[in-house]
Every structure is written in structure tokens, then in C-alpha cells.
Chain A
């Protein structure tokens, strides 16, 4: 008689079917495989570790509740990402951060250091002063991303940080390829304008 396969050898989609069939250990295996991915995925949206853990856990709970409706029509990772993305967007809606967040002024002198060349240079400098301004720049990027609409922020995060293809983004967001292509262009364009406005303001 053939030995039953260990859960660790089973593909994600088959694990969901095992879970559907009542084998709850499959859920543990899924959590074990994807807990780090989920936390990172959410962190890239909210940039807050505790909140990203909280949303990730809620995502797994949704996945568990959803198990009987699961059909192998898309990759498991797409389904999980979609659940997590929707939870992150709910969080944005609760906070309404994208529409109300104002950009704080940079500390005096920051922009002199972070002129257009420095902003966009690939140089890595060990200079502590430069490190300070790099940190400031990180805060600025976070703020600027926070002012983008949820849709533009989402496409940028999925493309720029997660490296998903346009096709994968279209599947996760339930959009057409052409829409994704246009949204990414617009998101970048808005980002560019907001950076330029920051530079001009100083």
C-alpha cells in the first residue's frame, strides 16, 4: 500500500483541498509556509509591524472560513494575496490616511542634502550624516506613498516591492492588463509630481 504523502510535500492548492476535506493539519502547513510572506505583504502596505501581524492573522482566519468555497481556478498565492490586500485596503479606509494625510515639512536643510541628484542616486555612502538624511528620505517616501489613492498605492506596492507581473497584479486586483498598465503609469507619475513638489517647496 502506498504511504500517504506528508503535508510538507503537497502543493499549496492541494493543501486547500485537504483542508476542505476536513484535514485541519493542512491549515497548519499553510500557515507555516506563508506566515512570513503574509506579514511582509501586509507590512509593505501599512509599514507597521504589529498591525501587519494582526492583519495577516485575520487573513488566515478568512482563508480558513473560506475553505469550503475554494476552487482551483487560480494559484493559491493569488487568493491569499487578494485576501490580504483587501484587508489592508479596509485598514486604509478606516484610517482614511490616503485622503487626509498631509506631507510634513522636511527638517531644515534636509532638502539641501537630498537634492534631486541625491534623491535619485544609487550611491551608498557610509557617512553618518548621509545616513540621517537617507532615513529622512525613507520617512518622506512613506508619507508620499500614503497620499496616493488606495488603487495607485496598491499597484505600486505589488509591482515595485513584490515584483508581481502585470498579469498577476490583474488577477489579484480583479482588473484587466491594460488597466494595470495605465494605473502603474499614473501612480508613478503622481509619485514623481509629489517628489518634485517637495523639492520645489524648499
Chain B
């Protein structure tokens, strides 16, 4: 017999599609027989949806700025001097400025 906490770990993994086929069947049987587990699973799904929706809205438009490469090149030249990076930082001044 599994411990209640093991059932909850399996529920979380089921939500993430990380269970093997036999494990999925086992968890599904438990879901049919336990209202408590079903409530827990619904809550997990809702929490998952909530986080995803929030992240999707918050991350919208986030990308490297136009000065990202120039700033990186400047930093590289300071932190990795006298190596290929200086010229690669190179790239920082030569290519990155294109």
C-alpha cells in the first residue's frame, strides 16, 4: 500500500506527463476511488494553469535589448583581455555594431 504522500508525488508527475503507462493506469484507478485525490488533482491543474497564464503574460515582449551585444562585447574586452576574446569582443565592436 502506498503512502498518501507517494500518491501526491505521483499526481504531480501525472500532471507533467512524466509517468510510465502502468503508473498512469494505477494513478487513474486511485483517482476514480478517491474524491480527496480528485480534488487535489483539480487544484494542481488549476495552479498549473494560473502560473502558466501569469508567466505567459509577464514574459511577453521580453527579449535581449538592441545594446545587448555591444555591452557584452565591452564587458568581454574588460574581463578577458589579450585573448581571442578581445578580438572576439572583437566581434563586440566589429560585428556587434553592425
Contacts and interface: CB of A to CB of B under 8 A. Distances in A.
Interface of A: 22, 24-25, 27-28, 31-32, 35-36, 38-40, 43-44, 47, 49, 52-53, 56-58, 60-61, 64-65, 119-122, 137-138, 141, 156, 159-161, 165-166, 181-182, 184-185, 188-189, 191-192, 195
A40 B75 contact: no
Interface in B18-77: 18, 43-44, 46-55, 57-59, 62-65, 68-69, 71-72, 75-76
Contacts of B53: 122
A174 B46 CA distance: 29
Given A24-B88, A39-B62, A120 B16 contact: no
A191 B12 CA distance: 13
Interface residues of B, number: 42
Contacts of B16: 159, 166, 184
Interface of B: 8-9, 11-13, 16, 18, 43-44, 46-55, 57-59, 62-65, 68-69, 71-72, 75-76, 79-80, 84-85, 87-88, 90-91, 95-96
Given A64-B80, A120-B50, A161-B55, A43 B62 contact: yes
